[in-house]
Structure formats: structure tokens, C-alpha cells
A = this chain, B = another copy of it.
């Protein structure tokens, strides 16, 4: 993601899913660079809370190509009470490139132990079999915790599998190998969220304009004794009349006997290429189109919330 240099230069604080050195941290770095203040949070909900209190922005994982969409993020978005202020204001996708980190001076043949999160260990089995067949795998709570553990004396002969960013966080730790994962199909996409006082993340000459909306069918007519059955979502989606590039459903939080209504998180996108208009004008036009789409959904009997518009 390319971001405006003025956004990077400005002093902003960014909440992310910690500890420092996670791929969430790396994603935040890609958007906000080295001058921002980074606030590590324990859970996804804490990132949201931080944005409503002291952080200018937050970076939350939306989906991983292997593990699917991040339930904690959608569970929090479904309760988003954002009124007229924006919430999602950007996105960034990070390819998960595992690195082998060691204490400075340690060579490959000296490595006796490999530390990492269980998932990362599992994703680098090919590299281990080829280069470190006799090393012992030790599971840690996170990839970043593995990197930090290299500082302990008992792990002087160990390597950590983690993000490249960890090498810059822990003194005396260096990258020995990059991209040691078995396959390249592992990537995570993040939303950037902003509080009401956050400036727009302006992208010069954006290629795409985006919007995230949450919609669900209206409540059943009252007074009917019939058991509620699931409603057809297609009329509401059709009413959007805008290019729809992602649809993510969350089941209702109700019991099995009286099912509630599913929530659909729908991402809309329009190409930004039109040389004859300036960016601000194009952005305004996109907002107006999204607003009109929301009105059409409401007219079709749906409930709809705008969770944010952004450009890319």
C-alpha cells in the first residue's frame, strides 16, 4: 500500500495486535513507517478500544489465506456503533515471509533448536528437513516471543522463525535466511481503522475506491406465529448496484431454535482510473454513490451500516 508521505511524517499513534514483531506490527509499519508510535495490544478488541481512547489508528487482521476470516474482527465490527464517523479507512496485505533469526555470529550448522509459534514451525517443515534435520523444535506463544527468547543464555544455539521486523527489535539478533516457508500462499490482509479525529489516509492517484458495508434483512413482520426461516439476501445485494468484490457472512448470536439474522459484510470497489478528474472530486463522487446504494438497500427493506470508505 502506498500512503501519503504527509501521513507518515505526522506524529501518529497506531494500535496493533502484539507483541512487537508480529505480522500485525509489520503491516502497521508498512502503512505508517518508522516515525509513528506503536501501541501493542493483547486482543483485537483492545485495538478497537485503543482507537476510541488514545490511538489515532489501529491495524486489525481481516483474513488469512489459510485460516480464513478473523472471527474476532468481524464480531467486533458487527457491534460497531460509528454513527457518521468513519471506522475502516484503509487496508494492507502482508505476505507471510518467515525468516530464520539467530544471535549474531551463529551459523546454520551450529543451530540445535528451532523456536517459534506452532503454526510457523508447521509452515517451515521443508526448510527444516533440508537444512536442520536434527534440530529440536520448541513451541513458543508467538513468533515474536521466539525471537526475544534468543537473548536467553539457554537459547544461544537456537534459531527463531519469525518476521524480518524482529531482527530490528532485539539487539544482537540477525536474519540468517529469508522466505523459508514451504509455500507462498500464506498472506494476511488487514484493515486500518481510525477514530473520529483520524485524518484520511490519502492515496495519490488511487487505482481503486472502496467501501465496507454491513447489511442484514429487516426483522420479520411482527405478529406472525410462524417459525422464522432464513431470508433471501439476494434482493439486498442486488439493490447495492455497485461492484461487489467480497461477501463475508457471520451467523447470528442467538440459539438454534429461534435463529436470528445473519450479518453480511460486503466490500464494494470501483476503479479509480479516470484522468480527467482530481482525486478529491472522485472520492466525493464515490461517497455519494455508496450513500445512494445504502438508501436503495433500505428502500428494499434491509438494514445497512456503512463501516468505512477508503482508496487504494
User: Chain A interface (Cβ within 8 Å of chain B)?
Assistant: 63, 65-69, 71, 74, 93-95, 184-185, 187, 208, 229-234, 237-238, 240, 243-257, 262, 264, 269, 271
By secondary structure, the A interface counts as mixed
Q: When chains A and B are docked, how far (Å) is the Cα of A95 from the Cα of B230?
A: 17
- Return the contact of A250 from the options B68, B93, B232, B271 (Cβ within 8 A): B68
Interface-centre pick from A94, A185, A269 (highest chain B CB count, 10 A): A185
A245 in contact with B232 (CB, 8 Å): yes
A244 in contact with B234 (CB, 8 Å): yes
Q: When chains A and B are docked, how far (Å) is the Cα of A308 from the Cα of B249?
A: 21
B71 in contact with A71 (CB, 8 Å): no
A255 and B68 contact, Cβ closer than 8 Å, known pairs A229-B208, A234-B243: no
Residues on the B chain within 8 Å of A237, using CB? 234, 237-238
Q: How many monomers of this protein are in the complex? A: 2
Q: When chains A and B are docked, how far (Å) is the Cα of A253 from the Cα of B63?
A: 12
Q: When chains A and B are docked, how far (Å) is the Cα of A8 from the Cα of B21?
A: 55
A245 in contact with B264 (CB, 8 Å): no
A247 in contact with B264 (CB, 8 Å): yes
Which 5 residue pairs are nearest across A and B when measured between Cβ atoms?
A: A187-B256, A230-B245, A232-B243, A234-B244, A184-B255
Q: When chains A and B are docked, how far (Å) is the Cα of A224 from the Cα of B250?
A: 36
A68 in contact with B251 (CB, 8 Å): yes
Residues on the B chain within 8 Å of A246, using CB? 230, 249, 262
Residues on the B chain within 8 Å of A240, using CB? 234
Q: When chains A and B are docked, how far (Å) is the Cα of A188 from the Cα of B251?
A: 11
A247 in contact with B230 (CB, 8 Å): no
Residues on the B chain within 8 Å of A256, using CB? 65, 93-95, 187
- Return the contact of A68 from the options B69, B254, B257 (Cβ within 8 A): B69
Distance in Å: Cβ of A251 to nearest Cβ of chain B: 5
